[in-house]
Amino acid sequence: MGNYFVLNHASMKRYNTLRLDVTVHTLVMPYSIESFVSAIRDYKDKKIVIVGNGSNIFFSKDYYDESYCFIITNLINDVELDGDEIVCEAGTRLHRLAWFACEQSLGEMAFLEDIPGTVGGALFMNAGQWQYTIGQYVNWIEVYNTEKEEIQRITPDEGFFAYRYSRLNDLPVYVLRCGLKAVPGNYNEVLSQMLEYRHERYVKQPRNFANAGSVFKRPKDKNG
């Protein structure tokens, strides 16, 4: 087995935002991209369930036996500025990414501030709000292909992302990290925008109850 933490008969309550208390036989916590890939390879004969921030997950049973492996990605969360790109790992919370961009005086990431997810999940569903989506800023995505059993880099073309969708859903891959366009901005303006977005969310979504954020999908050609 690789270099990662393994918990047996573990509760998932702390790993989902609805605080649903179910038990899983095998819970794996990798702490690097390398250990994440090792875990995927080591448990390839089981049904792997990837959990980021756990904000879009429900459970169909109270106990998941040894045929399942739940992999928690919240320790795979490095984010750095590399030239004109923000490079971030799959488990990076969108909230953290937005604040990192703000601290670097980078614009157009403020919309991510209060979306309760991680980069990996955001890339699969092309997460966004207002007129922005994460797909607008993606230069490349590094993935692990389970069929070829190798790490690959995807450069999205024009049709790769759509409303709440990306072609990642049609590929046998797990997201490892990505490179996002770093757009220069003004620190004070970005901070003001982030606080405005946060206020809008706090007004509409209760924070004194466990919740999953916004879970609707807008009908085609209609506003939500």
Q: How far apart are CA 201 and CA 180, in angstroms?
A: 24
Q: How far apart are CA 157 and CA 222, in angstroms?
A: 25
CATH number at residue 183: 3.30.465.10
Q: How far apart are CA 56 and CA 41, in angstroms?
A: 25
Q: Which two three-digit tokens encode residue 170?
A: 């049609």
Q: Which residue do the tokens 């997950």 mark?
A: 57
Domain termination residue (choose one: 37, 72, 107): 72
Residues 106 and 65 in one domain: no
Q: How far apart are CA 102 and CA 8, in angstroms?
A: 39
Q: Whose CA is closest to 50, among 152, 136, 122? A: 122
State the pLDDT confidence band at 147, using cuts at 50, 70 and 90.
very high
Q: Which two three-digit tokens encode residue 8?
A: 């047996």
Residues contacting residue 126 through CB under 8 Å, at least 6 positions apart = 133, 134, 135, 161, 162, 163, 164, 165, 166
Q: Over the chain, what is the mean pLDDT?
A: 92
CATH number at residue 40: 3.30.43.10
Residues 51 and 90 in one domain: no
Mean pLDDT, residues 193-208 taken together? 77
Residues 68 and 86 in one domain: no
Q: Which amino acid appears at position 182 of this protein?
A: A
What integer pLDDT is reported at residue 37 of this predicted model? 97
Q: Write the pLDDT tens digit of every residue in 86-126.
A: 999 999 999 999 999 999 999 999 999 988 899 999 999 99
State the pLDDT confidence band at 59, using cuts at 50, 70 and 90.
very high
Residues of the chain with pLDDT > 90, as a percent, come to: 79
What integer pLDDT is reported at residue 208 of this predicted model? 66
**Domain, as residue range, for 109:** 79-203
